[in-house]
């Protein structure tokens, strides 16, 4: 299994997932700033030319949440996903999808000081609604699904943590406490050592 990665990118989240799983894989560091052979190869695998990418035999997985979900299901014994027919599965999907579809675009636009002219037509609506959603989804204790730490925390919590570290998000006390729990995890510390 190959993980195309850069230590100062969103691939840190998939690296964290791989470290939580503690599985053998090949880490391929991509310099996104120069037109290297690796970068050209990466653009052939992923037309977006972006990292992270996971290549598992013939399967190519792109997008942080898709990679984390794929890995969690591939290694069920590591218990980083609720069981397929568990009642928690819907909530789990919600965390995985709301992060990249709704929260991240909203935070990215806000960081660039851009306001969408028609929030009702933007999938993420507006910052007021996104902040209420983010606050409501943040667990008061433990993890997104209660006692079980899952890929939902890696995807959702990972975005919250990096957004605070990079000054894109101001954490409420509840969000700060959740990020603190995340930052205590050895695998997180290992994956994020380039910027924390």
Ligand X SMILES: N[C@@H](CCC(=O)N[C@@H](CS)C(=O)NCC(=O)O)C(=O)O
> Closer CB to ligand X, residue 75 or residue 97?
97
Q: Collapse the DSSP code of 4 into the 3-class scheme (helix H, G, I; strand E, B; otherwise coil) and give the result.
A: strand
> Closer CB to ligand X, residue 52 or residue 82?
52
Q: Which residue has the tokens 């959603």?
A: 133
Q: Which residue has the tokens 């996903």?
A: 81
Question: Rounded to the nearest whole angstrom, what is the least distance from the CB of residue 85 to ligand X in the complex?
Answer: 27
Residues forming contacts to ligand X in the complex (CB under 6 A) are 9-10, 32, 49-52, 63-64, 100
- What whole-number distance in Å separates Cα of residue 13 and Cα of residue 122? 25
> Closer CB to ligand X, residue 49 or residue 119?
49
> Closer CB to ligand X, residue 50 or residue 55?
50
Question: Rounded to the nearest whole angstrom, what is the least distance from the CB of residue 9 to ligand X in the complex?
Answer: 4
CA angle 103, 155, 123 (to 5 degrees): 25
Integer angstrom CA distances of residue 71 from 18, 95, 98: 8, 16, 19
Question: Rounded to the nearest whole angstrom, what is the least distance from the CB of residue 141 to ligand X in the complex?
Answer: 28
């Amino acid at each position: 299994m190959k993980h195309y990665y850069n230590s100062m990118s969103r691939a840190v989240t998939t690296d964290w997932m791989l470290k939580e799983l503690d599985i053998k894989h090949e880490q391929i560091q991509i310099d996104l700033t120069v037109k290297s052979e690796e970068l050209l190869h990466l653009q052939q695998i992923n037309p977006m030319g972006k990292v992270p990418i996971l290549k598992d035999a013939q399967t190519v997985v792109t997008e942080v949440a898709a990679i984390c979900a794929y890995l969690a299901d591939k290694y069920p014994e590591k218990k980083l996903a609720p069981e397929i027919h568990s009642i928690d599965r819907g909530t789990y999907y919600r965390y995985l999808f709301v992060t990249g579809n709704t929260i991240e675009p909203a935070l990215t636009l806000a960081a660039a000081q851009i306001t969408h002219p028609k929030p009702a037509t933007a999938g993420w609506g507006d910052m007021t609604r996104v902040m209420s959603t983010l606050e409501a989804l943040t667990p008061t204790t433990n993890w997104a699904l209660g006692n079980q730490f899952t890929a939902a925390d890696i995807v959702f919590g990972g975005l919250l943590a990096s957004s605070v570290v990079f000054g894109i998000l101001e954490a409420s006390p509840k969000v700060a406490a959740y990020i603190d729990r995340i930052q205590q995890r050895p695998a997180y510390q290992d994956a994020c050592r380039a910027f924390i």
